[in-house]
Chain A
Amino acid sequence: MAVDKLAQGVLVMYNTVMRFINLFIHSFLRKRTMSAQWHNDTPIYLQLYQQVVSRILEGYIKEGEALPSVRRVAAEYQLNPITISKAYQMLQDEALVEKQRGKGLFVKEGTQALMLAREREAFLTKQWPEILQKISLLKLSAAELLASNKEVTL
């Protein structure tokens, strides 16, 4: 009985946290649409790589769709083209996109599922334990998390 409650509590917390994270990611992505703002602390090519990964994951870039050319991205984001080439190379190395001769890079079929699995794994092994730790540090109960969740949900 007690174990059941605990399990339920954890599940509730998980959902709450996921919702927060999604909200965060969404607002983050929205900010990135016009003129990109980069953090100084991570190399820009990694941020760009992560942006493409997120956009594929969120379905903004669909499987089978082309990525914009290096030139186009360089001009739009005012970055040096080598930065974009590096990010695109990473995506190619991980076989998330493939080159079609003379046409550029295309998102491969199955990429979204692959990345969802990868990001889930990363979340469960890296972020989630930290969040759990934070929850226990703040002595938050499942009920309290749920209550705060209601206020946030629109």
Chain B
Amino acid sequence: MSTLISVSNLTKRYGDKKVVDEVNLTVKAGQILGLVGPNGAGKTTCLQAVLGLTDFTGEVDVLGYNPKNNRERMLNDVAYIADVAVLPKWLKVEQALIYMAGVHPNFDRQKAEDFLAKTNINHNSKIKSLSKGMVTQVHLALILAIDAKVLILDEPTLGLDILTRRQFYTHLLEDFYNEDKCIIVTTHQIEEIEHILTDVAFIQEGKVVLSESTDNIKERFKLVAVSDEYVSHAQTLKPLFSNRIMGLTTMLFDQAKDHELAELGPVSSPSLADVFVGIMTKNVTKEAC
């Protein structure tokens, strides 16, 4: 698989504060990377650096281009939906299609029309007359109709109802994705896209605290339901997270040996959300000490 995006030692400061701190990431063709972190962790800033929308220190390479110097050419093959996606209120849907076809060499008007045909959005409607969900759908139709190698989605489904969210990912997988492309997506609803992702990076206070393929995460992290008599022994194996309820303590372990865990109680695999909560909580308690 060829590398489409590589980011090394990416740092972004606002005054004294490092909002992105020595971030390293590579994204290869075929990967769908989830960038996951709490609000204010630096996700959007990372994406903006990759898109050449903000100054930074470090190296960023997107499809062989430097986003700072070759932004215009890079954008032929990169599509982006910002978390604050806005379309001009006075614009008609039809005009948006004409505009995109005019400015973007890789825009496929037919694709956008096909997507819009599945919604009840009229081509003659003005943006200001559409609901929030409809505006987002117009936006998606415009962006996903670009035959881009790299697609960057910053909270693309924020504020959408579950039907529209599902429809969005269905559209993404069925009509956009293929193994020559890559997608980076940030979202707070990781349960919904956990199985869509091939890779995950957790980001906290500007740092990448975990970057793995979802397959490896299943190998690395295990949940164990520990009864009280084994809790003190289990603590020696340094769980990332433990929570006692109804007489059993659920503990999350990273890279523990299977046979050691099996002695403590029933072992299961955590969801991505479990791992996320475990890692975020671990780093916070460490700081408190």
Residue B158 CB within 8 A of the other chain: no
Instruction: State A81–B31 Cα separation when bound (angstroms).
Output: 10
Inter-chain CA distance A21–B170, complex, in Å, is 34
Does any Cβ of B come within 8 Å of A31's Cβ?
no
Number of A-B residue pairs, CB cutoff 8 Å, is 49
Tell me the residues in window 42-83 of chain A with beta carbons closer than 8 Å to chain B beta carbons: 43-44, 71-72, 74-83
The answer on a CB contact under 8 Å between A71 and B196 is no
- Complex CA–CA separation, A80 to B177 (angstroms): 10
A41 cross-chain contacts in B, Cβ below 8 A: 268-269
Partner of A80, one of B198, B218, B270: B198
The 8 Å CB contact of B271, one of A40, A43, A75, A79, is A40
Q: Do B270 and A81 touch (CB < 8 A)?
A: no
C-alpha gap A74/B215 in the complex (Å): 17
Are B166 and A78 interface neighbours, CB within 8 A?
A: yes
Bitwise interface map of B from 258 to 289 toward A, beta carbon under 8 Å scored 1, else 0:
00000000001111000000000000000000
Inside 8 A of A80's CB, which chain B residues have their CB?
Answer: 32, 173, 195-198, 214
In this complex, what residue of B is CB-closest to A40?
B269
Interface string of A116-145 (1 = CB under 8 A from B): 000000000000000000000000000000
Name the distance in Å between A110's Cβ and chain B's nearest Cβ. 32
Complex: A25 Cα to B75 Cα, angstroms: 51
A71 and B174 form a contact (CB under 8 A): yes
- Across-interface contacts of A83 in B (CB, < 8 A): 195
User: Majority SS of interface residues in chain A?
Assistant: helix
Q: Is the CB of A78 within 8 A of B218?
A: no
Chain A residue contacts of B192, Cβ below 8 A: 78
Smallest Cβ-Cβ distance to B169: which chain A residue: A78
Q: Which of A69-119 contact B (CB under 8 A)?
A: 71-72, 74-83
Sampled A-B contacts (20; CB under 8 Å): A40-B218, A40-B269, A41-B268, A41-B269, A44-B195, A71-B174, A75-B170, A75-B174, A76-B170, A77-B195, A78-B193, A78-B195, A78-B196, A80-B32, A80-B195, A80-B196, A80-B198, A81-B173, A81-B177, A83-B195
Contacts from A to B (Cβ < 8 Å):
38, 40-41, 43-44, 71-72, 74-83
| Contacts beyond the supplied A78-B169, A81-B179: 12 A-B pairs with Cβ under 8 Å | A40-B218, A40-B268, A40-B269, A41-B268, A44-B195, A75-B169, A75-B170, A77-B195, A78-B166, A78-B173, A80-B197, A81-B173
**B residues whose Cβ falls under 8 Å from a Cβ of A:** 30, 32, 166, 169-171, 173-174, 177, 179, 192-193, 195-198, 214-215, 218, 268-271
The 8 closest A-B CB pairs, nearest first, are A75-B174, A40-B269, A75-B170, A75-B173, A74-B173, A79-B195, A80-B196, A41-B269
